Amino acid sequence: MNNIEKESLLYNTVFNTTGDKEFAVSFYTYFEFVMFGDGKELMLYLTDRINQRLQEDEEIKVIEENLIKSIKETTNSLEKLIKKHKLEDDEVIKDSLQSLYSFLNGNVIRIGAESNYFDDIELEIRDILRRLIEFGFEKEVAVYALVSNKQIKDVFATKDKADYISKKETLARKDARTAEGALFKLFNLFIQIQRVESVSNANKQKIDNDLGKKIKDTLVGADYGQLISGKTNTSTFFKKEEYMPHLERLHNSIITNNEEIKTSGKEIFYVKDDGIYHYEIGRLNYSKRGLHDPKYIKMFRNIITYMPNNTNKIRVKNLEELIPKQERVGGNYRNNLGQNAKAFNNFLKQQGVQNIHPKTKQKVLRVTDDYVTFNNKL
């Protein structure tokens, strides 16, 4: 049984579960196989997209960290101003300041929309600033916000809130339709199960120390404990109906993007019906020169077709001897397929193909005047 067949078997096991308990157990086995077991080779096609998704996530995280840093600095500064004017006992200021510190110390569970979280923080800051204006400190309030006719327009500490929310919402919409988005959603579920089971392995994630996350972990743990013990048949945090659409999207993507690997003997490039195919992308397109293929295409096709299976390096003259005379296109392999061969390299670039082996990170095709090196086996 190959890995595609194993993936399908494990997926069908998850798909056919009848309750949340069976789903959680079967899902964990499936995801461990495709992410950390033998099935991880099936995920290679997603590598670049995962890296792009991580980069987008990191950009959002930077904005969030800067937002929180700015809010903390503003809160600390406001507290000093409040003490300076002896307003600590004013009920509005006191309540808003306490709420701000609860947010910042992680004593609020962030389960809902991020926009609500930062909107609530901004409202507390606005309440303090409005109260300070009422006490006659409008000039000092202007340090923290744009004020017009004693009305607060923009709070400086949260000026990046709109950008943060916009990027989060854009990423959420993208995640809803992409395989990498499904993967991230499912990875979070996998980590939640690891947390509550205290799985001790190299992939276990550290539980955050702030109170809000501790409370959420406690709720998730209690829910999982009730589910696994059989005390309940339905779950709040491990619902099959919530995660199955993401799992189905990932499974379909794995099958679709690994068909070429399955049928081509696990090669990066292969020839079918006179076309050149890439194991991830499929058929590669190029422009003909009149009615004929460009020379670099003919050479590349010949290398794919006639390179001996038992080697990845051959002399150019020996390769030529293996090619039928009517298919030979002459010499100058380096000029047409080498590092500085502009037409060939542009062809790969336009198809979104990198001349890098996905596992070894070596060049797939390297051509000199005397040798052709072709690391085409996956």
At residue 74, the pLDDT reads 95
Span 342-364, average pLDDT: 91
Span 330-359, average pLDDT: 90
Residue-wise pLDDT tens digits, 58-108: 999 999 999 999 999 999 999 999 999 999 999 999 999 999 988 888 765
For residue 264, name the pLDDT band (cuts at 50, 70, 90). very low
Q: Are 45 and 257 in contact (CB under 8 A)?
A: yes
At residue 211, the pLDDT reads 38
Instruction: Look up residue 262 and give its two tokens.
Output: 């399955």
At residue 225, the pLDDT reads 60
- Residue 34: count other Cβ atoms within 10 Å of its Cβ: 23
DSSP E strands, 223-367: 269-272, 275-278, 282-283, 313-315, 365-367
Q: Are 299 and 347 in contact (CB under 8 A)?
A: no
At residue 317, the pLDDT reads 86
What is the full DSSP assignment across 322-358? HS-GGG---S-HHHHHSTT-HHHHHHHHHHT--SB-T
* The pTM of the whole model exceeds 0.95: no
Q: Are 358 and 47 in contact (CB under 8 A)?
A: yes
